[in-house]
Amino acid sequence: MTHRRLVVPALLLLVLGLSACAGGPPLSLGGGYESCGSEIYEPVTFGDVARASAAGTVVMESIELEGAEGLALREVYLVPIQNQVSLGADAFPPAAEFWDRRVAVPGTAISPGEEVTVLFVVEAVGGGDPHGSEGYTARYSIDGRPYETTSSARFRLAPDCGAEDKDGP
């Protein structure tokens, strides 16, 4: 009898824990797209949106490019969304009303349900092609518990971005 009393609560906790995981990561990142900038001789910004779930306040630790080849991450910031989002490729620095709101990634708290722009400052390095990344990874914690979420959003620098956009993939 004692074992049954322990098994039922243990099973209930397991089911509740698994259902919480099924809702996705505590921090959602954009993904499944490629953004291209044609300025390969100057720094460029790329933006993406991150959204904290209702799991708790997300405390950011770091954001890094994944699979970067010929592309260096110079800076990365979080920008609170206030009527303006910077998505895709843009000049560096972006408009002052956006740039002036940037905050450092480490230690920044994102409240449940809040969205922020993840702003990357990148630059082509080395000669030739490619200049790109295969995604990015955000490391963060909620109540001291570490998490990691990876986005499949790809960033690329190439002088012929416009031609590829018109002709399709």
For the chain, count helices (H), then strands (E): 3, 12
pTM of the predicted model, to two decimals?
A: 0.79
Q: Return the structure tokens found at 87.
A: 């998505």
Q: Check whether 5 has a pLDDT greater than 90.
A: no
Q: Return the structure tokens found at 45.
A: 């910004």
Q: Where are the domains of the chain?
A: 25-159
CATH code assigned to 25-159:
2.60.40.10
pLDDT value of position 40:
81
pLDDT value of position 127:
79
pLDDT value of position 89:
85
pLDDT value of position 105:
98
More confident: 108 or 160: 108
pLDDT value of position 15:
32
Rg of the chain, C-alpha, whole Å = 20
pLDDT tens sequence across 54-111: 889 999 999 999 999 999 999 999 999 887 666 778 889 988 888 999 999 999 999 9
Q: Check whether 134 has a pLDDT greater than 50.
A: yes
pLDDT tens sequence across 13-64: 333 333 344 468 999 999 889 999 988 889 999 999 999 998 899 999 999 9
pLDDT value of position 2:
35
Cα–Cα distance measured from residue 138 to residue 127, given in angstroms and rounded to the nearest whole number: 28
User: CB-side exposure of 42: number of CA atoms within 13 Å?
Assistant: 10
pLDDT tens sequence across 143-152: 999 999 999 9
More confident: 118 or 17: 118
Beta strands in the chain (DSSP E): 27-29, 34-37, 44-52, 58-66, 71-80, 88-91, 103-104, 109-110, 115-124, 135-142, 145-151, 154-157
What is the four-CA torsion angle of 71, 164, 152, 67, rounded to 10 degrees?
A: -30
Cα–Cα distance measured from residue 47 to residue 51, given in angstroms and rounded to the nearest whole number: 13
Cα–Cα distance measured from residue 38 to residue 73, given in angstroms and rounded to the nearest whole number: 16
